[in-house]
Amino acid sequence: MFALTANDPRQIGPYRVVASLGEGGMGHVYLTGSPDGRWLAVKRVLPHLAHDAGFRSRFALEVETARRVASPHTVRLVDADTGAEQPWLASEFIPGPTLVQHVEAHGPLAEAHVRRLGVDLAAALTAIHGAGLVHRDLKPSNVILTSTGSKLLDFGISRAIDYSTSVALTQTGGVVGSPGYMSPEQAQSNPLTERSDIFSLGCLLAMAATGRVPFEGPSIPQVLFKVVYEEPDLSSVPEALRGPIGACLAKDPADRPTLTELTEILSGTGEVASEAPEPVVSFIEHQRQQAAAFTGPAPTMVDQGPTYVFPPVPVRSKPRLSRPVIAVLAAVAALLVIVPLWIVLSSGDDPPPSGDGDFADSGSDGDESSASESSLSIPSSAELCELLDPESFATALGTAWEFEDIQEDDDACRATVRDSESIAYSSLSIWVVGTTADSWAFCPFTDCDYDYNGVLVGSESTERPWEMGGVVETGPRMEMIWYQEGLSGTVSATTMGADDEAASDLPDLLHELGVALYDLAEAA
């Protein structure tokens, strides 16, 4: 943490800049104070990237998608402006050392802490992959050690899986990532899947256990050659960890374990640390004092428990005329000219109130009523928490699962459940937001233009008079989604570690909650 220089900004968006946290390949990170008293870390994109129109469009897509990431082990994205002269994003400021800082100062982690690190990061990657992202730059400097476990940050270099893999984030033929932690397919500039992150996780765990990367060399080309063609050096890795780490480092992505399998191996074959190393606790206290010196009296810190992420800010996508329910757009074109364009991520303006400025209700008989006149409303977070049924969710995941806690925030509610036989967590979230019928989230119901990997579980629901609705499965995430009159309701569950047989009841539970959510929005 460093004092500001004459070249540093004093304000980014609505946030007052108070100190510098460092600079990376994509941008400079600042400690800021928010209007509501929170400490936030704001990353402002470097000027040469800010002038790249292609980068801006991909960055905007990634920010939109990253808002769907929900895990106790990822740093929460709070705000962003991709339309600013230098785009920026704001996340919670989490006190704690990065993994590389800790290892450099205190040496490798003990085996129990390496296991805990692996389990935490597997949970983080599960949430990231479930949102349609590949991190692509998993390395020790992107991992923060906190008093409640490890947290993964920096999705700025990751990209949506459903975006064309023929378009690189750097110049054509370039490679994005950190050489010592790249997968073979990444080093060769081949298309990436979630399994690339698992290889990088293996490299990171080897470094945490030994203080060295498993592929070393005097130059970047030699390191990349070893990554692609040679076996990793795991001779210094504790014997009990060589199996799971070595499996992650398989050259063929298909031979690497899934995140669920890796979690089961790490948590089931040895002790998993339940508390942070003492140097981490000391570092956190020191950093709190540093931040207070720059900002004055300390506000409530984030690191008091798991960090949660709630639904995306309403985003208007480019309309597709192929869906029948949008056919009346031509008739309301004049209206749209005067309606504020609802793209939060490309404007410095605050979003309009929920429901304002959205499409006309295309389900009416020529009625051009806007979403602001919708018969549905957005329920409060307290009302949503009353609706959630975390005990039934825990039962649907398996007999060993039990309710952990529930938290309300920003017109959403989230419940966390825990596997009593391990340290695995899953979550159940619920929200209603303003959106449009052509959002990529509704691809399972439409002939969308996105390469989206979500699939309907069973058939589309007609339980209520919504324009579309049903249960959708995307990797380790299952969601009940409905759309009506410019509003979307979602009941979202992560299913990592769930018992397959017991989880067969989950679609019915989510559908039941989705129907109840619609009724609540109608009555709100």
* Short-list 346, 373, 376, CA closest to 358: 373
How far is residue 478's CA from residue 493's CA, in Å, rounded to a whole number?
5
How far is residue 159's CA from residue 347's CA, in Å, rounded to a whole number?
21
How far is residue 451's CA from residue 161's CA, in Å, rounded to a whole number?
8
| Known binding-site residue numbers | 43
Read off the pLDDT of residues 267-322 as tens digits, 9 standing for 90 and up. 887 788 888 888 898 888 887 877 777 665 444 444 433 333 333 333 333 333 33
Q: Which pair of tokens denotes residue 197?
A: 């992150």
Read off the pLDDT of residues 7-39 as tens digits, 9 standing for 90 and up. 888 998 888 888 888 776 678 888 888 777 778
Read off the pLDDT of residues 143-185 as tens digits, 9 standing for 90 and up. 999 888 899 886 544 443 333 233 333 333 344 457 888 899 8
Residue 431, helix vs strand vs coil: strand
Nearby residues of 260 by Cβ (< 8 Å), 6 or more positions away: 122, 126, 476, 496, 497
Q: Which pair of tokens denotes residue 195?
A: 């399994």
Q: Which domains does the chain carry?
A: 11-163+174-295 (1.10.510.10), 381-513 (3.40.1000)
| Known binding-site residue numbers for ATP | 43
Catalytic residues: 137
- Whether 406 and 416 have beta carbons less than 8 Å apart is answered as yes
Task: Check whether 331 has a pLDDT greater than 90.
Answer: no
Annotate 127-161 with three-state secondary structure. HHHHCCEECCCCCHHHEEEECCEEEECCCCCCEEC
pTM of the model: 0.56
- Whether 280 and 101 have beta carbons less than 8 Å apart is answered as no
Read off the pLDDT of residues 197-221 as tens digits, 9 standing for 90 and up. 999 999 999 999 999 999 988 888 8
